[in-house]
Amino acid sequence: MVRIPHFIVLVAALGAAITSPAHAQATDPQRLQVAAALEAADAGRLDPAQSAALVRHPLYGWIEFAALRRDPDTITTTQAQDFLRRYDGQVVASQFRSLWLAALARRQDWPTFLAAWKPTDSLALQCAQLAARQATGRTDASWTEQAQAVWRKGAKSLPDGCDPVFTVLASQGGLPPALRWERIEAAAAERQTGVMRGAARGLPADEAALANDYAAFIDTVHARALTWPKTDRSRRMAAYGLAKLAQNDPDTAERLLPQYADALGLGEAERGQVLYQIALWTVASYGPDSARRLGNVPESAYDERLHEWRVREALSRGDWPAALAALRKMPASQLSDSRWRYFEARMAEKTGDSATAQRLFRETAGSPTFHGFLAADRVNQPYALCAWIPNDPATAKQAVARDPAIVRAMALWQLERPGWATAEWNDALSRFDDTQRRIAVEVARDNGWFDRAVFSLGSVRGESRPDEQRLYELRFPLHHGDTIRREAARHAIDPAWVAAEIRAESIFNPKARSGANAMGLMQVLPGTGAGVAQRLGIPYAGASSLYDSDTNIAIGTAYLREMEDKYGVPYIAIAAYNAGPAPTARWQSQRPGFDPDIWIETISYKETREYVARVLAFSVLYDWRLNGNALPVTDRMMGRVQAKRKAFTCPTAQMPKS
């Protein structure tokens, strides 16, 4: 943000608040040796003496595993059984077992395979176990039942090793036409036409021909479907094919739908499925037919996604009455969300119902979210924030930190083995109660593993833990303070914004890398990094430099400055940081002069739309962490940095548990 009068205050606060990880666990004196041993094991050159020196280290099992996994086909039964015995009950044993079972299946050592078998989620190994039982004469009723269960999981392609099992199952009469059609229909729903054709091979000739024609229609809509038998199955297949067509060519799908609807007698459900996709793929680009096509979709076909788009479409046209009507058609569970409650208030305000607007703003202001903060600004209320700061005894934290799986998880994380670390972490948490799980997150934070607070708090096995959302000090870590402070000062950027970007981009993981090759704390693309570094004279030695925290923050903060200079206001700069210049320019040209909150909500990319709201909300929360108060988000997103700062309060009704 530009020219910050309270900037020095923020910088001083940041220096006091942002610290390096406490590293609660003692530094491992053998860490470098373990790293070298793992690297040697990966490369197949682990020296026996090098390994022997670490035999008592908590990660010795992983060193052995790294060596064994290089060539699992040469592992002897004695070696495998010894490994499994020594590490029984540990994650490394289960990972090794999967590796070894796959090797046994390849060499068809079925008796040894069955002796080592334990249930697994791997479909490949499940099919191997069925093959082992078949090869050893154990194809009983249970075998048939389990083979059919695997078959039913095949809406998408199954491992090649399942094919011989299904061949035997079919030869024994275990794949009757009804079961084949069950898989064909499941595959059709997923648009997996290759699976449909494979499942159809054992059908009677006339049924196989029809199944193949169904698959062909889903691939490319054709006129032969007009003469299909008028069955529920044909109607479903026609709907799948037309809905798929609508995703790429909604105009053609809309033109063809009446022909197939009349010929096959499509009901409201099938027509609604196609009309849904026609409307969705039109409104997602705010095409000129968006409102009409949304109106064509039966209300019975609306889900939360389309309800949202109906609101956005009206917002994009500035049709406030239509937006309000669309909001009030949402189910109550959806409309109760702070986002939509805020926009209901905004549309009530826009249509002249000030009393309703004020009431809804006051209600929404109790939510510590982007839209809750916006609502609080509209009615000049403090921000609602009920932080939970547990006061657990030191002995409880020490006990969790000493848990063997947690010890291994922390060591593996620090050695940059995130997959193994996460496996150990999940194993530990499967045994922990809520208090232990929360304390484990603290231990992870103290070891620099910050994302555990995001992925391990708030719910357990699908059950909500809302109080854990109030663990703000865990969920919003402060780290790399000196660099953030220095670079924010250099570029006149609010350090709370920089911290929020890092939290949104990488959760403070300096080794983070996206599928698009964005790298490091602020997820900078190598091309962007090179360009910014060259323009500003920042030392840069290629893409790997972006894994250096200081370099990444220097480049990322400079790029934020460039984005704000280019777009003039932070909320558009944040959108450009995420989506790039071309989409941002399109959104600006489509909706010039729109209010910022409405412009953000009508961003067509879901990722960017939510990203902008998230970064702005995170900026408020980091301001709270730094100063105990915050620049109002309404002013923050416009770059108005001289506004009166807002206080935080915890409403009595929302007081967290102690």
Q: Which residues are catalytic?
A: 505
Token readout for 584 is: 């941002």
Distance CA 645, CA 628 (A): 10
Residue whose tokens read 């860490």: 31
Distances from the Cα of 126 to the Cαs of 19, 153, 162, in angstroms?
A: 48, 12, 8
Nearest CA-CA partner of 251 in 290, 222, 215, 216: 290
Q: Which amino acid is at 26?
A: A
Token readout for 214 is: 């169904």
Token readout for 530 is: 């090179």
Distance CA 37, CA 621 (A): 42
List, as own/partner pairs, every contact residues 34-37 make where C-beta atoms lie below 8 angstroms and the sequence separation is at least 24, other chains included.
34/59, 34/63, 34/411, 34/415, 35/415, 37/63
Q: Is 463 helix (H, G, I), strand (E, B) or coil?
A: strand
Exposed/middle/buried for 464, CB within 10 Å: 0-12, 13-18, 19+? Answer: exposed
Give every CB contact of residue 420 below 8 A, 6+ residues apart in sequence: 62, 91, 92, 95, 412
Distance CA 528, CA 535 (A): 11
DSSP H or E run through 460: strand 459-460
Handedness of CA 213, 218, 223, 227 (dihedral sign): positive
Token readout for 202 is: 């054992």
- Do residues 289 and 282 make contact, with C-beta atoms less than 8 angstroms apart? yes
Token readout for 84 is: 């499994």
Distance CA 528, CA 533 (A): 8
Distance CA 192, CA 200 (A): 13
Q: Is 459 helix (H, G, I), strand (E, B) or coil?
A: strand
Residue whose tokens read 């049709």: 319
**Residues facing 646 on adjacent strands:** 630
**192's torsion region: left (phi>0), alpha (psi -120 to 50) or beta?**
beta
Distance CA 379, CA 374 (A): 9
- Do residues 516 and 525 make contact, with C-beta atoms less than 8 angstroms apart? yes
Give every CB contact of residue 175 below 8 A, 6+ residues apart in sequence: 148, 151, 166, 169, 202
Give every CB contact of residue 426 below 8 A, 6+ residues apart in sequence: 91
β-pairing, 383-384 vs 648-649, is: parallel
Nearest CA-CA partner of 625 in 377, 339, 364, 389: 389
Distance CA 320, CA 313 (A): 11
